[in-house]
Every structure is written in C-alpha cells, then in structure tokens.
A and B are shown apart, each in its own frame.
Chain A
C-alpha cells in the first residue's frame, strides 16, 4: 500500500469533461460542464487562468505542442481557439450542433473537431489550418468528413497528421486518410460507445475506453487489436504511462457505477490489474498521465480535478508473473 496526498483543484462548478497536460507537463488544462475551461500549474495546483466566452458545457479541450494555443469545443455549438498566455479568444468556429471532440495536430498548425448528430444534422469532422486567416474568418474548413451513421465520441490525430482515428457511439473505430478524406478501415471491436482514445508517448499505440466495461489497446497504424483490459464497470477514460515503456506500462481505467469510482492500473502486456486508488466522490470522467510519468491527474463528476503524485512504492513496484 502506498499513500498519496492529492492536490485538489476546485475551479469548476460542474462535472469535469476532459483534462489534458501540455507537452512539458507543467500546465494542466481542464474543461467542465460549466462555461470556463481552466488552466493550472501542475506542480502546485495554482490556477493560472480561465478561458471565458463559452455559453454551454465544454466537452473537450486540447493544447498545441508549444503550449501557445488552446482549443475548446462546447455544447453551444462553438469551437474556440485561445491564446494560452492571456486567455484571449483568437478564433471562433460556429456550427449547427454541439462540438464533441477537438484536437491539435502534431504540427500544431491544424485543428480538428467533430460535431454531434442532432437537430437534423449529420455528424461531421472538420479541419482547419490556423495559419490561413481566411479559413478562420470565413469559417470554411479545408476538409470535412461526414461520419456514416454513428456519432463520433472521441478522436485523435495519428501517424504524423496523415491519419485520424475516431471512436464512435456504436463501438466502431475508424481510421481516416487525411489526404483524401476517405475511410481506410473500420473495425467493430467494441460493442458500446467509445468514451476516450489516447495515444501512447510515441504515438504508435492507442488505448480506448469503452462503455462495454473494457479498455483495449490497438496499433495506431493498422488498427490491429492487441490487448484487452477487462473490468466490471464502464470505463470512462484510459491512458498509457509514458514512464514504463517496455514491461511495466500501465493503463489507467476509471469507471462509473455507484460506489465504484476508482482509478485502476493495469499491466499493459499481461492485461492484469495491479493497483487501484479512489479519490473522487463520483465517477471519474477523465484521466491523464503527466508526461514524465511521475504523477497522474483525474477529473471527476464531482467537479474536482486531482493531481496525484505517485510515491516511491509505485516506482519500486515490480510486476511478478
């Protein structure tokens, strides 16, 4: 047993929807169902600022690689681009329905976001180049992908901006070629909605979190299914530890069923759970590893973001076969 003293960040009045570290890990970004996405210093939990301007629940947040810009998507059908340092709005993308997922490309120039399939509109993934002012001002994406009949619930850029991986509410995972905008592959490994997709440090693997109580590991270029991590409850979010890149890589899963709100650690290769901890009074909606792997953060339905620094026992822990 090891004990940790988490730092609690209470800046949100409603449940957290997504949390994300920047590349160096010194900043932690959080979005919640209230209207102000927030940025924190991860080292001491100090609040740096809030990005005010949305009029609805903010579903997703992302930061580019040099931490100069932040992208948020919200239920008020707006996707906004912010300046990280000042919190000022740089661009505003208007849509017909709520924005569900968003992401910066690896280069940091392009942005992607997906919209919900509601109000008679189909689910679309839109791409903009932030260097081209005309695209930002005229709200004209350089590419638009229309998802067949399911809603995109999670997505990430992959393979050095050549591809996009999307997870859908019917459990499908799709790989899109971004040169042509066509679907390369579609697999049905999950049976229910895919809540989260996170790449590993090198971007070669990705892990999914699914409502069907499993989390699965895939090859990011071929969508080959590699490993399955089973729990007894829906998995809301999953992340891969950047620190143990060979044998002791961990997959963190969280779950939402009354009374069982835990973060679980699985051994990536042996698919076995080796540790777990509690810390929230409600379901945990999002987890993220610090890029140095020495701490992880969780964002919960209770509106708290908690930064957990692992203690020595976590690092000394040796998985015995």
Chain B
C-alpha cells in the first residue's frame, strides 16, 4: 500500500529511513463497540515498543444542547486533536479507594477515650479497715478501727479456740476446697477458682470460621480483582493477598474472610476449579 511513495524515493533514503525512523504504521480496528488503536514508538534504548490502547465507544442519550456541544470543533491547544480523547492529555488512572468511616470504627474509637474517665470514677483501691476509697495504709481510722476489728474477729472465732493468728485459720481451711480469696494474698493461678481449666490461648482467631484460602493465583492478581471475584458471594470482611516484598507481585495465594460462614462456603463451592487468568483456582477452608 505504501509502494508508490517508496518507489519515488531513492533506495539510499529508503534504507536510512528504514534503519532509523520507520515505525510500523499504527492500526485502528473496530470490534463492535471496542475501538483498538495499535501504535508503535521507540524507547530511549531504541527498542521498538508496541502501544495498544483500547477504547469503549458508548452511545448515550443526552439533551439537545449537550449533544450539540459534543459535536463542537476543538480549538486552542486542542485544535489538532482528532475525535475522542487525546492520550497525551487524558489518561485513566489506577483505581483509588474511597474509605468510608463506618459507625463500627467509631464505636471502636470510643473506648480509647474511656479509660481515663474510668480511672477518675472507679475506686483506686478499697481499704481493708473501713472499706473506704483509699489504701489501707492511709486509712484515717486505722488505729481505732483495726483494734475493734481484731476484737470482733476474735469473738467470732472464740469457740474454735483462742487467739489463733488469722493466717493460720486460713491455712487450715484451704485443704477443704478452693475458696474465693478473702484477703489480698497471692494465690498461684493453678490454685485459684477454676484453676483446673486450661489457660486461654492468645491465638484465638475470631473469624476462623469464615476464612477461605485461595491458591494458584497468577502473579498479576490484585486485591481489587479478588474483591470483584468474591464480592458476589457475600460481604467481605478482609482480604489478605500475599505479596512479594521486592517485586510487589502476588505470591500466588490469598486469604479471604467473609462476614458469614455461608458466603464462604458458597464461594468455595463456586470458585474452586474456576479458571482465572490462565490458571485454575484452588479454594478451600483456611486452616
């Protein structure tokens, strides 16, 4: 198709141009409502780069004036632009996220302020002597009341026999069974009430029930892809996509936590064995 023009130039020019400048001509193809423009350019290292731009052509109904304005001729700096957006001035960016401040987060934030107020309102400690709002050592009635209390307790234990020290009586009672501690004495955890119970692990995972593991993901997968893929099965609480720290590409697996176990089960059923990119996904319960 270019042959007439090529013939008109001398072969020497032709070779030079071919070596330095000539780029394959750009092509525009229409595939239904999709317009594809393939153009070529040279990089700084003189490598040939192929640029593929895909446009979607849409028809929209608009008011007369708007439609008229759409057909206006471009002017000013945009004078030489053809129809459609000029890629030099109009680009589509990577997606950005709009973060909603939900009430849930606000509820979580509130307790942060509370402890201070709590400290003000709650009692610092209780006096063993007068049950007042202060430490025992600082009790103003310490001298008077403590004697009184000793006398009283002595009277109660009168039948059991004389003035045995308090600690001794407690030691005697202990073997009979675990009793709620009445004094501030230290009791090892194993000896406390319910001491036989196994200790609580700090490793409790609340959302264990609704978490699924997706493996065999391709390198190009992003969190938003997973969101698109799994959103239809139910609302997602959390997506964790393992990324390579250096290359920022996916390591090939992800964990997705749903709000409900049913949606997770549905997701496993539907997506397991599903072909995504060029790989077949493997979806199972997270262990």
Known interface pairs A11-B89, A41-B70, A85-B72. Does A47 touch B78 (Cβ–Cβ under 8 Å)? yes
Verify if A115 is at the interface (C-beta below 8 Å from B): no
Interfacial chain A residues near B92, Cβ < 8 Å = 5-8
How far is the CB of A28 from the nearest CB of chain B, in Å? 12
- Bin the interface of chain B by size: 35 or more
Known interface pairs A47-B89, A48-B74. Does A26 touch B95 (Cβ–Cβ under 8 Å)? no
CA distance A4 to B224 in the complex (A): 11
Residue in B75, B79, B92 whose Cβ sees the most chain A Cβ within 10 Å: B75
CA distance A311 to B100 in the complex (A): 13
Binds A, one of B57-65, B123-131, B152-160: B57-65
A276 B95 Cβ-Cβ under 8 A = no
CA distance A87 to B77 in the complex (A): 10
B72 A48 Cβ-Cβ under 8 A = yes
B86 A46 Cβ-Cβ under 8 A = yes
CA distance A51 to B79 in the complex (A): 11
A275 B99 Cβ-Cβ under 8 A = yes
CA distance A320 to B104 in the complex (A): 10
Name the one of A24, A38, A50, A277 contacting B65, with C-beta atoms under 8 angstroms. Answer: A24
B93 A8 Cβ-Cβ under 8 A = yes
Verify if B162 is at the interface (C-beta below 8 Å from A): no
CA distance A113 to B242 in the complex (A): 56
Verify if B11 is at the interface (C-beta below 8 Å from A): no
Known interface pairs A52-B77, A67-B69. Does A3 touch B97 (Cβ–Cβ under 8 Å)? yes
How far is the CB of A259 from the nearest CB of chain B, in Å? 16
How far is the CB of A144 from the nearest CB of chain B, in Å? 32
Interface residue count on the A side (C-beta < 8 Å): 49
How far is the CB of B235 from the nearest CB of chain A, in Å? 11
B85 A44 Cβ-Cβ under 8 A = yes
B101 A2 Cβ-Cβ under 8 A = no
Verify if B172 is at the interface (C-beta below 8 Å from A): no
Known interface pairs A8-B93, A27-B69, A36-B77. Does A1 touch B85 (Cβ–Cβ under 8 Å)? no
Name the one of A3, A26, A46, A276 contacting B90, with C-beta atoms under 8 angstroms. Answer: A46
A306 B93 Cβ-Cβ under 8 A = yes
A67 B76 Cβ-Cβ under 8 A = no
Residue in B63, B91, B98, B102 whose Cβ sees the most chain A Cβ within 10 Å: B98
A1 B99 Cβ-Cβ under 8 A = yes
How far is the CB of A226 from the nearest CB of chain B, in Å? 22
A87 B76 Cβ-Cβ under 8 A = yes
For window 14-41 of chain A, which residues contact chain B by CB distance below 8 Å? 24, 26-27, 36, 38, 40-41
For window 183-209 of chain A, which residues contact chain B by CB distance below 8 Å? none
Verify if B66 is at the interface (C-beta below 8 Å from A): yes
Name the one of A3, A40, A87, A317 contacting B95, with C-beta atoms under 8 angstroms. Answer: A3
Known interface pairs A276-B98, A276-B99. Does A67 touch B89 (Cβ–Cβ under 8 Å)? no
Query: What 8 additional pairs, Cβ within 8 angstroms, besides A1-B97, A275-B99, A306-B93?
Result: A26-B66, A26-B70, A44-B90, A51-B76, A66-B65, A86-B75, A276-B101, A277-B98
What are 25 contact pairs spanning A and B, CB under 8 A?
A1-B100, A3-B97, A3-B98, A4-B95, A5-B93, A5-B96, A6-B93, A6-B96, A7-B91, A8-B91, A9-B89, A11-B77, A40-B90, A45-B85, A46-B85, A47-B74, A49-B78, A272-B101, A277-B96, A278-B96, A306-B93, A310-B98, A313-B98, A314-B98, A320-B102
Those 7 A-B pairs whose CB atoms lie nearest each other, nearest first? A50-B76, A49-B75, A87-B75, A45-B90, A49-B76, A277-B98, A50-B77
Using a CB–CB cutoff of 8 Å, the interface residues on chain A facing chain B are: 1-11, 24, 26-27, 36, 38, 40-41, 43-52, 66-67, 85-87, 272-279, 306, 308, 310-311, 313-314, 317, 320
